[in-house]
Amino acid sequence: MKRWLALLCVLAGFSLNASSQQQSGLLAPTPPMGWNSWDSYGLTVTEAEFKANVNWLHQHLQPFGWQYVVVDEGWYLGHPENADKKDADEGYVLSPNGLYLPAPNRFPSSANDQGLKPLADYVHSLGLKFGIHIIRGIPKQAVEKDLPIAGSSYHASEAADQTDLCLWNPDNFGVKDNPAGQAYYDSMARLYAGWGVDFLKVDCISQPYDAPEIQMVSASLGKSGRPIVLSLSPGPTPLDQAADVRQYAQLWRISDDMWDVWSKKPDEGAFPQSLKNQFGLIRQWAPHVEPGHWPDADMLPIGYLGPRPGWGAARLSRFTLGDTRTLLTLWSVARSPLILGSNLTMMDPQIESMVTNREVLAVDQRSTGNRPVVDTAGTAIWTALLDNVHLVAVFNLGDSPTTIIQSWKALGLDKTSYRVRDLWQREELGTQSSLRVSVPPHGSYLLGLR
């Protein structure tokens, strides 16, 4: 055990505090870790529900590095229950300058023109960071009324591209790549900065890849006077745009929405993305992972998804505990952002133990050189480094148990034997002259080698 003492000391203090993040000069020096309301509440989360999850995260997860809490889509809808009803009133709340405002019947602290600032202040009082979701573009209602754009001489009609519509959301028109369009996004960023937003998830912008609007949003955040992480959604972001997207965003989705589905047939469509299919996309994006810029494999649909999830009926995740461990292992060794989607107030103790495993979280937050070294139809193996410890992640993608055997040399490692530690079980497995593990269906191992 003494051989692992130094490693465990490193793992115990892996998370970056606020001052060290600022010193890094990057908005997201490590993959963001947090919680988003979509997988459990869809369009309908209320202030009380959001705070209940924030409080749980503060008490149970914040000490382990989880820090972002994000209100997802529809916070400006007074009647989100009408979203799927034709011609029904959804109760959009709009400012005199054509910007969405929180619905006061769902977010009562926003009354009297307070916006989301009181909620952000509450989040900040707990030492956490506050985020919101938007659909890119300008509200159709602002264009119909031709509302003035704050801080400019322009009006909404000059900024709107009325031929540009989001395929899955009817709220907005696209924004023209012109001075009026930039002025609109600048006014939006000033409002959000004034509220105290730390994280902005922009939807319907990464697939198809909308380079002009991405650049305008990024520029507006840069002028806002507040550091705000930009997350682009959904994917798949085109791989050939990797060099472009890293200039403007800290996170970008690499797939369509990923839900609690292990595998799908090719003819079943892109939505939802399955965990098994995610392996290929994550592998393709591995060369583009770097501090401050993170290919995002999407939220973690684990635990209880309800009471009003963004897809399907309220349920315990279809993922088994083994599937969940595989998901967390893959996201961690690939250094994807870790954003929980479960209802935290109904957290399963076994899943809580997984998402508070410091040794695994350190792989996501601090490892380097992450790359796939074996990729077959049934097996995937990744390697990485954590200081002077070699990491090996082993995955069985098949539906039957299998024994995976590889020489250390075949994995790119130079020693003939290593002392091996199981990071999930937090136990030493002794000295081994090769990799040999029996892996259950959909199962995984995450090993540290010294």
Return the domain boundaries, the chain.
Answer: 2-368, 379-449
Residue 8: which pLDDT band, with cuts at 50, 70 and 90?
Answer: low
DSSP state of 12: H
Tell whether the model's pLDDT for residue 11 goes beyond 70. Answer: no
Quote the CA–CA distance of 230 and 250 in Å, as a whole number.
Answer: 6
| pLDDT of 1 higher than 50 | no
Residue with tokens 């508070």: 356
pTM given for the model: 0.95
For residue 339, the SS3 value is: strand
pLDDT digits (tens, 9 = 90+) for 32-81: 999 999 999 999 999 999 999 999 999 999 999 999 999 999 999 999 99
Q: Is 331 exposed, middle or buried (0-12, 13-18, 19+ CB in 10 A)?
A: buried
- Give pLDDT, residue 19: 38
Q: Which residue has the higher pLDDT, 134 or 20?
A: 134
Q: For residue 209, what pLDDT is reported?
A: 97
Between CA 283 and CA 290 the distance in angstroms is 14
- Do the beta carbons of residue 250 and residue 229 sit within 8 Å? yes
> For 324-334, what is each residue's pLDDT tens digit?
999 999 999 99
175 within 8 A of 160, measured Cβ to Cβ:
yes
Q: What is the pLDDT of residues 345-374, one digit of tens each?
A: 999 999 999 999 999 999 999 999 999 999
162-202: per-residue pLDDT in tens? 999 999 999 999 999 999 999 999 999 999 999 999 999 99
Residue 297 near residue 329, CB atoms below 8 Å:
no
How many angstroms separate the CA atoms of 401 and 439, rounded?
6
Fold type of domain 2-368: TIM Barrel (3.20.20)
Q: What percent of the chain has pLDDT over 70?
A: 95
Q: What is the DSSP string of 80-98?
A: GGGTTSTT----B-B-TTS
Position 267 scores a pLDDT of: 86
> Residue 438's CB: how many other CB atoms inside 10 A?
12
Taking alpha carbons only, the member of 244, 242, 191 closest to residue 221 is: 191
* Second CATH level (architecture) for the domain 379-449: Sandwich (2.60)
> Is pLDDT above 50 for 279?
yes
The pLDDT of residue 13: 45
Confidence at residue 87, expressed as pLDDT on a 0 to 100 scale: 84
| Average pLDDT estimate for 285-313 | 98
What's the pLDDT at 20?
Answer: 42
- Give the confidence band of 248 by pLDDT, cuts at 50, 70, 90: very high
Computed over every residue of the chain, the mean pLDDT equals 95
What's the CA gap between 307 and 304, in Å, rounded? 8
| Closest by Cα among 297, 400, 408, 311 to 31 | 297
Three-class DSSP category at 351: helix
Alpha carbons within 13 A on the beta-carbon side of 135: 21
- The average pLDDT across 200-212 equals 97
Dihedral pair phi/psi, residue 214, rounded to 5°? -60, -45
- Nearest one of 167, 165, 159, 170 to 216, comparing CA atoms: 159
**Strand (E) or helix (H) holding 381:** strand 379-386
Q: Is pLDDT above 80 for 12? A: no
Pick the closest to residue 250 from 208, 299, 201 (CA basis).
201
- The answer, yes or no, to whether residue 88 has pLDDT greater than 50, is yes
86 confidence band (pLDDT: 50, 70, 90): confident
Predicted pLDDT at 174: 98
